[in-house]
Structure 1
């Protein structure tokens, strides 16, 4: 019979993280005494072929079963090594406490102990393995087991024998074939955990970018090409020529397929052949030209830095564009947004380079129909809501290939600089910095490269 009574000797601190806050804010947790139910704990062997059913809420629960059940992690898919199968509970705890063996050998011992009633915090007190580390060990061991089942060579697996849980944890969301390719690539390039996270995001994000400029030139089956495409896309969204060149050179150094290398070299030389001067989804990127980006689902939630901008309607004939606050910033410990005047509508966007580069005077104009932009109507175009980010500090019509917000026939539109010059207009409401399209799951029928007028 084994039972524990645990008294917390000090209050714990949890933190809310926000991109608007300069530092985490502690929430005080009151002291309490945690008493576990007294019940026998015994070592058991868990078969992965016969998992226990999950606890699901039901309107008619079985007699004696509560509607609420505490969280329990799923049973481990990694088999328990033979040397640990017949150990009792105390012996298994001793293995974890003293790290007896390789990490992926003792990691499968954690889920059975939690299923037997050990809370992760109690396991942390006993073994010294933090709750987050417990999760990394269990998930990393499952990822490694999938690599074994995929036939990954022993030399690659050996690379992850020491402290490999963090690396393998980062590729957990990839498919089995993607994991195998990513694991080999990380070994070849001696990746760290941060690099692994970036690689996994690049691979996962690649299919969502279908229709983006140059997408078809990169090989989705090659992790290096996925990473190169991410760097290439970041280059297109950068308005600073020097930084854009650095990002393109980085993409070229990573790319593997000949087609991807050729495409990036053309971009570096300023001669793309098919769509000179145009950016992703048909946006233009050279000089002061405009990138067009589609917001990804959950992109704002994942962003570490965001921009908060005032929003104007497209149907007020430009009145709100002139009246919107010019200066606004986050102040204080809570990052409270303060503006020079009151404003009713604001939007949060990721802190893309073209956005954060403008220090003052940005405003967002919300169009309910993308036809406000100069798409070519003799081809298929997308009728959807868009956000146009405008720099009101740059009103003079200077660049022929730039785009400007203007009031035309009592409605707001976006016009190319050359068209405005032909009409004799020398001033606009502001120059367009970036165009944002709404997030979508389906990316078929995207704008082609030549859909701009």
Structure 2
């Protein structure tokens, strides 16, 4: 009787002195066994595949590190100090701010982080950044050969001021630093100055822009106040105050003259004369700047209708929407689903009652002479429903196509008079284009039909 047994694997030792192929009825292919006269083979160690990396790491592999600018040269009095001594200097603010500011990036190289450095010295992460950046701005002023007295003016508490002009070019920094010292500005004033300088080129084409000199920081700041003055009613105290600030900041005589004309009312008289002669664009066309609503000192909230909704919708829109009470809470006479917030520009600042906005998905609905870069661009048309009568030939009016239920369209007054139309849905007072990064495509007078 046979008992079942488990066949175990046994090694097969074959030898062939002549190195010839061996054949066997159990082997389908010839098996070659090489004989060596050397010492017999030694057992090998088995390595698990999971322990072998798929690709060996490079010998000089460098881990990602966040970019940090090279530290400023360390003052000689700090070079021989150890880490604890440097921390003590920062913790106790021993010396002038720009002297111990270079210690911060050196401590970062030693392994400190902004939170750990704050814990050791009491200097917050925001202040650390302000000190380091302010010191670099100060170094750039020295390299530009600015008057040493100007640089010395920032020795006490100057980091906060110099930090605000960090984004300006070397020439702009020098001019701005002089102006900050001359006007004894605080951090908020330095921030406004830097923003005005950066914003000035993007305002090309606005009223009186050419009267202000871009190379003079005072003129840039003056133009910012000048623009803000036009957001208020004329006459009004806020408008006069803004013009006074513009006059105080202006450096060039041409800028001062433009501001004085506004204060004396000559600028508006000249503007009315130009409109009578047909020189100016009848309806202002502006491109909304990114963040402009947030920076505006006054805003206007208006109901919005879609271009395809027709006359019935515009008649249902609320007529009155204004700020009430000490907090200026916006109150509308009835509910509405779509609103837009615009800066308090002069054409819309008085539209607390009767103002409405129509959103056109295609700017070609307006009577342009040609369809160029504004082709297929959406626009907002602001109209005054309190002025429905078609009066001026060169004015623009909001009407509907074909019937009362048709889509909205903007027509020139002369075209409506040819069709014996005497009334519209409202007079167009402003066209707003969407914000974009590039702002050089300004509307010119000849773009209108």
Q: Under a length normalisation based on structure 2, what TM-score does the superposition of the two structures give?
A: 0.69
Corresponding residue of 1:181:
175
1:355 CA drift (Å): 5.5
Residue deviations 1:295-343, cap 9 Å, x none? 123445767987665432223333432344567899xxxx999995463
User: Does 2:250 align with 1:252?
Assistant: no
Change (3 A) 1:159 1:282: farther
Matches within 5 A, 1:23-172: 74-75=68-69, 78-172=72-166
Corresponding residue of 2:288:
295
Q: How many positions carry a matched residue from both structures?
A: 379
Corresponding residue of 2:307:
314
**Separation (CA, whole Å) in 1 of partners of 2:242 and 2:285:** 18
CA contact (8 A) 1:170 1:197 kept: yes
CA contact (8 A) 2:228 2:296 kept: no
Query: CA-atom RMSD, angstroms?
Result: 4.3
**Separation (CA, whole Å) in 2 of partners of 1:311 and 1:447:** 24
User: Does 2:257 align with 1:262?
Assistant: yes
**Separation (CA, whole Å) in 2 of partners of 1:65 and 1:306:** 56
| Structure of greater relative contact order (alpha carbons < 8 Å, 6+ residues apart) | 1
Corresponding residue of 2:274:
276
User: Does 2:352 align with 1:366?
Assistant: no
**Separation (CA, whole Å) in 1 of partners of 2:414 and 2:235:** 22
Change (3 A) 1:265 1:414: farther
Residue deviations 1:335-370, cap 9 Å, x none? 999995463x55454565765765566543122444
Corresponding residue of 1:387:
380
**Separation (CA, whole Å) in 2 of partners of 1:65 and 1:302:** 48
Q: Secondary structure at the match of 2:274?
A: coil
CA contact (8 A) 2:176 2:217 kept: yes
Change (3 A) 1:282 1:130: farther
Corresponding residue of 1:236:
230
1:127 CA drift (Å): 1.3
Q: Secondary structure at the match of 2:431?
A: strand
CA contact (8 A) 1:395 1:427 kept: no
Q: Mean alpha-carbon deviation: is it higher for 308-317 or for 93-102?
A: 308-317
CA contact (8 A) 1:76 1:142 kept: no
Change (3 A) 1:182 1:61: farther
Change (3 A) 1:162 1:449: farther
Structure 1 unmatched ranges of 5 or more? 1-59, 285-289
Corresponding residue of 1:215:
209
CA contact (8 A) 1:150 1:180 kept: yes
**Separation (CA, whole Å) in 1 of partners of 2:187 and 2:294:** 21
Q: Under a length normalisation based on structure 1, what TM-score does the superposition of the two structures give?
A: 0.68
1:148 CA drift (Å): 0.9
Q: Mean alpha-carbon deviation: is it higher for 428-437 or for 105-114?
A: 428-437
Q: Mean alpha-carbon deviation: is it higher for 424-433 or for 189-198?
A: 424-433
Corresponding residue of 1:201:
195
Q: Which one of the candidate residues 196, 218, 228 is aligned to 1:224?
A: 218
1:247 CA drift (Å): 3.3
Rg comparison, structure with higher value: 2
